[in-house]
Every structure is written in C-alpha cells, then in structure tokens.
C-alpha cells in the first residue's frame, strides 16, 4: 500500500497501560487484522518500555508470510521518551502525551515515535479506538477530542469471572461501584477515602459469593496469600470502573471454551448498559500447541528441554513460573517444593522474573548440582509450554499464563496469589478439571481460613506444604494426572477451532469489523 492509497483505509488506534500482559494479546490481534484485510491500519500507542517487545510479538505472528507493505500497516510508537522500566512511573507521561498524538491522528497527519524518531505516514482518522479501561486519561482525552463520533471499546485481558466479581452488579456476585462504597464508608466514619484505603475491598466476613460459572466461595477465598508487596488496589479499580462506564463496548481476551457461563453473564450485564462485547480469545501464536515456536534466543532452554526429552521422556519436565510480579512471600514454601522435585528426581525449570524473587545460593547450587534443573530470570514461556518434554506448569494462574497453558494442552498446578488468580485456580481445578490447586501454600489470616468446597483449613506450616506437594507430584505422575492431561488436551482442541474458519472468536471479531469498518 502506497501513501496515496490510504484514503479508503480502516484505521484503528490501540493504547493500554504500560503492562505487557495487557499489550501482548493485542499484538497478535493487530497482526491478524492487517494480514487478512489490506485496508486495515493499526496504530499502537505504547510506553517506551514495551516498543521492542511489541515489535517482536508482531513479527512472530507475521512469521515469513507478510509483505513489507502489510508490516507497515501496524505502526507501533511511543509519545514520550523514557528508559524507565517501572510500570507506575510510566502511567502519567503516557496519559499526558496521548491527547496530542490522538489529535494528530484525528487530523489525519503524519506522526513520529518519540523514542526512535520513525515517521509514520498520514492516514485517515480512526474509525474506532481500543483502550485499556485502566487508561482513563486516554479515554477522557479521546472523548474530549472526538466526542461520541469515534467509538471507544474497552480492552479486557483478564479473567471474565474476576471482572464480574470486581466490577459487576451484586446480583452476579460483584462488588459493583467500589469507589462509591468507599466514599459512603468514609462519610459514615468521618474520615477521608484515602484513610479507608482498601479496607472495603479486603473486608471479609464469611459471606458466600456466587459468580456465574464459578462454584460458590467464601469471600476470604479471594485472598489466598499475602502479596510480596504493599498494594493499593482501590484507586486502580476506581479508574477501571470509570473507564468501563465510559466505553461503548468491549473486547474480551478470553475464550468460551475456558469460561462460557461467565462470558454469557458478562455479555448480559454489558447488554443492559447497551454495550456490545466481542470475545476474541484466546489470542495465541499460530505455533501454539506445537514445538514449531521459536526459543527466542534462549539456547540454554532449548538444550535443557531436548536433553530432558531424551533422558526422562515426554511430559517429564515441571515448569514453575509466577509471572513477572508475584512471588511466594514465604520463601520456605517454595524451597520445600523445589526440594521435593530434587528428592524425587523430577526435572524442572524455574523462572524468577519477579523483582521480589528470592532464592538462596545454597538452593540454587543444589538444584544445579542435581543435573536436571534450570533456573533462570527469563525463559521463553510459550516455547516451553509447547515442548513435548513439558508435563506440568506450576503457575500463579494469571490469565495469559492460563490461556497459554491450555492452548498447549498442558495441565496446571495452581499456586494463586491475588487479582484474578484465586478464581481462575478454583475454576481450573474444580470445574474444568485440568489442574490441581495447592492449598497448604496459603498464607495470612484470610488464606488460612477454611474453604467452602470441602471445609479444609490450611495448616500454615512448611511440613504441610511438603506433604501436599509430594502428594501432588505423585498424582501428576499417576492416573489422575493422565485424566487432567486429557481434559487439557480437549480444551486445546477447542481453542484451536475458535480462530479457525467459522470459529466463534473469528465470527465475533468479524462482527466488530462489519459494524465499525468499511468494506470488510
């Protein structure tokens, strides 16, 4: 496509908070859009910290199939200069510089990247803007410039059942307008909302919560562990609630094969507010479910898995990762789990990307001395999960990790902390039966309370963690493990169909294009 041929293009803008988990799936969606529709153009306005990652993810989705003109129709840029990797320090400059960039794009003028200096051609004004609901600054700036003439769609990359819990009506098990509840409680006490903090959010009294698609839970089961950091979630939730209300519709990066009942309830709730919802997940690379994916430069990982496959066989390796933020506060519990793996001579990979990660030098030395362990700050997760040597994924159960695991047919050992993880772990283990949830790893006053599902109360000791983890290893390597793997493989098949010809996610995305585009 030449600059002179942009006139009849369909231009879409995307922006999100500076969190890779929120951006990564859109990279895949954007690449699919421009590959399949020659009139489509996508501008992604990101924090400088994510430019390189986004470009790599888009290139991986293209593979060797896309022409240069197709690749140019995804324009990835930053609106300010920064070398910071701190998510929270990037929120404000991204929001503050977005308005100028959006005005430039609305005026159909060329725009340049503040980091690289790359100049992107002038293209028609956007037909729709897709924004993270947490990016309230960008949402309000879009409304101030375009009014209601350009639709805004929220971008949900999290677990739908948890979105219902945090923001949905009380009739669906939700907290509804948490900010309003905090203000009311502050008024009642005669204090400020800041003094109330997260106390309304984290208050528990043994109330039974029923979210569509999720077995009933006590309210304290949403807080299974003390986080490794001090968090203030209420202000963030207030932003997201406002962002959700301001949008005209929503994209959801989940899948019917994962949480159909929750999705239907979410759609019904949004429909009551005259908002259309498009389910476009799972957004997984085309090689997902096969070993064809790239190790992305990690020759160490590739060599380890090949050796494990030859030595221990298929499905022998346990992969442990708690994402880029979370990490067990009780270091003894993780060390006990690793000792169990070493004791039983089970090969494993441990990723410790979190800034809160701690591993003793003695434990690392013991693991490396075993000859069947790989411990690294960064590993190519999608490549690992799709390798035939991988048997199990010990995960915090964040949404991206869950969808990647199920997309590869890998069963999960759930070790949830916070956010959408506790609900996902319960759903995976009790409803879908593709996982085993660890209970004894729970910490804190709320985490040590009994579970509604079976009345079990964690003991809160390293010894109990060791017993449970060893029993879990035995179950994984036995008949129960085979059953859970078969169930995970069944979901993998359904995931593969969702974006195939006539697949349900493809149908919903096409419905969006038909409504908001021209000539699709």
How many other C-beta atoms can be found within 10 angstroms of the C-beta atom of residue 40?
23
- What pLDDT score was predicted for residue 193? 84
In Å, what is the CA distance from 64 to each residue of 35, 59, 71, 182, 283?
A: 12, 9, 11, 52, 19
The β-bridge partners of 376 are: 351
Q: Answer yes or no: is pLDDT of 401 > 80.
A: yes
- What pLDDT score was predicted for residue 293? 53
- Provide the 3-class DSSP secondary structure of residue 42: strand
Q: What is the pLDDT of residues 105-144, one digit of tens each?
A: 999 999 999 999 999 999 999 999 999 999 999 999 999 9
What's the mean pLDDT in 198-226?
95
- What pLDDT score was predicted for residue 296? 57
Average pLDDT score, the chain: 92
pTM for the model stands at 0.92
* Residues 322/415, Cβ–Cβ less than 8 Å: yes
Beta strands in 47-173 (DSSP E): 74-78, 111-112, 119-120, 128-131, 152-156
* Residues 19/108, Cβ–Cβ less than 8 Å: no
* Residues 99/66, Cβ–Cβ less than 8 Å: no
For 180-184, 220-224, 314-318, 414-418, which range has the lowest pLDDT when averaged over its residues?
180-184
CA gap 98, 13 in Å, rounded: 11
Give the N- to C-terminal CA distance of the chain in Å, as an integer.
Answer: 17
Q: Which long-range contacts link 204-209 to residues 24+ away (Cβ below 8 Å)?
A: 204/446, 206/449, 208/452, 209/165, 209/173
What's the mean pLDDT in 191-199?
86
- What pLDDT score was predicted for residue 2? 45
- What pLDDT score was predicted for residue 203? 92
Q: List the structure tokens of 236.
A: 């963030």
How many other C-beta atoms can be found within 10 angstroms of the C-beta atom of residue 2?
7
What's the mean pLDDT in 276-304?
77
DSSP per-residue codes, 398-428:
-HHHHHHHHHTT--EEE---STTHHHHHHII
What's the mean pLDDT in 483-494?
97
Q: Answer yes or no: is pLDDT of 246 > 70.
A: yes
DSSP code of residue 436: E
How many other C-beta atoms can be found within 10 angstroms of the C-beta atom of residue 62?
18
- Report whether CATH 3.40.50.2000 matches the domain 299-496: yes
The β-bridge partners of 75 are: 43
Q: Answer yes or no: is pLDDT of 274 > 90.
A: yes
Burial class (CB in 10 A: 0-12, 13-18, 19+), 274: exposed
Q: 């992305």: which residue's tokens? A: 296
Q: Report the percent of the chain where pLDDT is more than 70.
A: 97
* Residues 308/302, Cβ–Cβ less than 8 Å: no
Alpha helices in 207-330 (DSSP H): 233-246, 256-271, 299-312
Q: Answer yes or no: is pLDDT of 294 > 90.
A: no
Q: List the structure tokens of 20.
A: 């890779």
CA gap 242, 272 in Å, rounded: 17
* Residues 14/131, Cβ–Cβ less than 8 Å: yes
- Provide the 3-class DSSP secondary structure of residue 244: helix
- What pLDDT score was predicted for residue 250? 96
In the chain, % helix, strand, coil (3-state, to 5) comes to: 50, 15, 40
More confidently predicted of 230 and 254: 254
- Domain positions in the chain are 1-150, 299-496
Nearest to 211 by CA among 241, 153, 168: 168
pLDDT band of residue 364 (cuts 50, 70, 90) is: confident
Q: List the structure tokens of 30.
A: 């954007």
Q: List the structure tokens of 10.
A: 């369909």
What's the mean pLDDT in 379-394?
95
Q: Do domains 1-150 and 299-496 have the same CATH topology?
A: yes
For 19-33, 164-178, 278-292, 353-367, which range has the lowest pLDDT when averaged over its residues?
278-292
The residues near 318 (Cβ < 8 Å, ≥ 6 apart) are: 341, 346, 347, 348, 349, 391, 392, 393, 394, 413, 476
Nearest to 385 by CA among 497, 492, 476: 492
Domain 1-150 top-level CATH class: alpha beta
Q: What is the pLDDT of residues 441-475, one digit of tens each?
A: 999 999 999 999 999 999 999 999 999 999 999 99
Q: What is the pLDDT of residues 148-180, one digit of tens each?
A: 999 999 999 999 999 999 999 999 999 999 889
């Amino acid at each position: 496509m030449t600059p002179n041929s942009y006139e009849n293009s369909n231009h879409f803008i995307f922006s999100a908070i500076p969190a890779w988990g929120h951006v990564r799936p859109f990279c895949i969606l954007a690449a699919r859009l421009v590959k399949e529709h020659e009139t489509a153009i996508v501008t992604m306005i990101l924090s400088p910290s994510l430019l390189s990652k986004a470009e790599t993810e888009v290139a991986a989705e293209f593979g060797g199939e896309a022409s240069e003109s197709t690749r140019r129709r995804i324009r990835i840029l930053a609106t300010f200069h920064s070398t910071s990797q701190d998510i929270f320090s990037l929120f404000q400059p991204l929001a503050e510089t977005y308005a100028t960039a959006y005005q430039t794009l609305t005026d159909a003028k060329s725009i340049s990247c503040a980091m690289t200096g790359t100049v992107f051609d002038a293209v028609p004004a956007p037909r729709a803007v897709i924004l993270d609901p947490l990016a309230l600054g960008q949402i309000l700036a879009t409304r101030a410039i375009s009014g209601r003439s350009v639709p805004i769609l929220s971008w949900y990359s999290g677990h739908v059942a948890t979105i219902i819990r945090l923001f949905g009506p009380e009739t669906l098990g939700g907290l509804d307008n948490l900010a309003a509840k905090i203000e009311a409680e502050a008024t009642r006490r005669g204090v400020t909302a800041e003094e109330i903090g997260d106390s309304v959010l984290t208050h528990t009294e043994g109330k039974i919560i029923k979210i569509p698609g999720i077995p009933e839970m006590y309210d304290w089961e949403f807080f299974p562990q003390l986080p490794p950091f001090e968090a203030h979630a209420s202000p963030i939730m207030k932003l997201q609630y406002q962002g959700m209300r301001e949008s005209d519709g929503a994209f959801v990066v989940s899948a019917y094969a994962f949480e159909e009942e929750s999705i239907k309830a979410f759609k019904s709730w949004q429909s009551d507010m005259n908002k259309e919802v498009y389910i476009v997940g799972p957004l997984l690379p085309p090689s997902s479910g096969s070993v064809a994916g790239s190790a992305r430069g990690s020759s160490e990982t590739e060599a380890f898995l090949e050796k494990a496959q030859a030595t221990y066989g298929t499905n022998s390796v346990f992969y442990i990762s708690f994402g880029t933020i979370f990490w067990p506060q009780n270091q003894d519990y993780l060390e006990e789990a690793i000792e169990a793996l070493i004791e039983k001579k089970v090969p494993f990979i441990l990723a410790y990307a979190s800034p809160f990660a701690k591993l003793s030098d003695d434990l690392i030395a013991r693991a490396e001395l075993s000859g069947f362990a790989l411990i690294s700050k960064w590993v190519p997760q999608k490549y690992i999960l799709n390798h035939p040597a991988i048997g199990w994924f010990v995960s915090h159960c964040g949404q991206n990790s869950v969808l990647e695991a199920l997309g590869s047919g890998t069963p999960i050992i759930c070790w949830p902390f916070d956010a959408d993880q506790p609900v996902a772990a319960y759903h995976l283990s009790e409803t879908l039966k593709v996982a085993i949830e660890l209970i004894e790893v729970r910490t804190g006053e709320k985490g040590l309370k009994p579970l509604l599902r079976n009345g079990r109360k964690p003991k809160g000791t390293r010894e109990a963690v060791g017993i449970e983890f060893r029993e879990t290893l035995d179950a994984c390597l036995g008949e129960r493990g085979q059953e859970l793997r078969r169930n995970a493989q069944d979901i993998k098949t359904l995931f593969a169909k969702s974006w195939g010809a006539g697949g349900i996610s493809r149908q919903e995305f096409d419905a969006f294009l038909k409504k908001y585009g021209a000539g699709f």
